[in-house]
């Protein structure tokens, strides 16, 4: 009898969990589905702050996602990331350097690997390169909440530009896990 392997768990993280991280969640789910990995990878999202707890996805984020053919994220309610979620996820994709710092702090205090915390845009081959010790803020995805619909369009473009790199990375992690090398 063969057992079903544990799913690979990815969490996208922004500030309030109503704009950037839910948009990234939807895009990554769709790209993973297209890559045939939907049954092996779980994607969810959270925020660093609890200021939006319980709120749905911002209407502008929903509008831009739908205009580009993405499914609606039904039933989404914003929540702040819990330490247990940081421990349980295999990959945490932050929208800004400040989010990285907060997530690594949580991971470090929980005894979890801090290397699983990455900037989402670090997977975009055309994003600014950041050398070790460099300024990760060059990879920030700006918060569109303060702007108009065009800012949400930019957010979607930046998320989409990184999505294929994330899928390739996750595929390599699954292959390593399948080969017995862990993830």
Active site residues: 14, 20, 143
H or E segment to which residue 106 belongs: helix 97-110
* Token digits of residue 173: 């992690």
Handedness of CA 95, 98, 101, 105 (dihedral sign): negative
Q: Is 111 exposed, middle or buried (0-12, 13-18, 19+ CB in 10 A)?
A: exposed
Q: To 10 degrees, the CA torsion angle through 111, 171, 40, 93? A: 50
- The CA R_g of the chain, rounded to the nearest whole Å, is 16
Neighbours of 46 (CB within 10 A): 25
> In the chain, where do the E strands start and end?
8-14, 41-47, 91-94, 117-119
SS3 state at 99: helix
C-alpha to C-alpha distance for 44 and 26, rounded to whole angstroms: 9
């Amino acid at each position: 009898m063969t057992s079903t392997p544990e799913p690979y768990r990815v969490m996208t993280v922004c500030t309030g969990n109503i704009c950037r991280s839910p948009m990234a969640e939807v895009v990554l789910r769709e790209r993973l589905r297209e890559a045939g990995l939907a049954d092996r990878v779980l994607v969810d999202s959270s925020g660093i702050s609890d200021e939006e707890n319980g709120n749905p996805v911002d209407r502008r984020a929903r509008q831009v996602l739908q205009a580009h053919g993405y499914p609606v994220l039904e039933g989404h309610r914003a929540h702040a990331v819990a330490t247990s979620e940081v421990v349980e996820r295999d990959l945490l994709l932050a929208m800004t350097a400040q989010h990285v710092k907060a997530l690594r702090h949580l991971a470090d205090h929980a005894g979890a690997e801090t290397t699983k915390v990455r900037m989402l845009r670090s997977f975009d081959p055309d994003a600014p390169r950041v050398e070790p010790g460099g300024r990760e803020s060059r990879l920030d995805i700006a918060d569109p909440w303060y702007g108009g619909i065009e800012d949400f369009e930019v957010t979607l473009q930046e998320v989409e530009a990184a999505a294929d790199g994330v899928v390739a990375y996750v595929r390599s992690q699954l292959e390593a896990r399948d080969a017995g090398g862990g993830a």
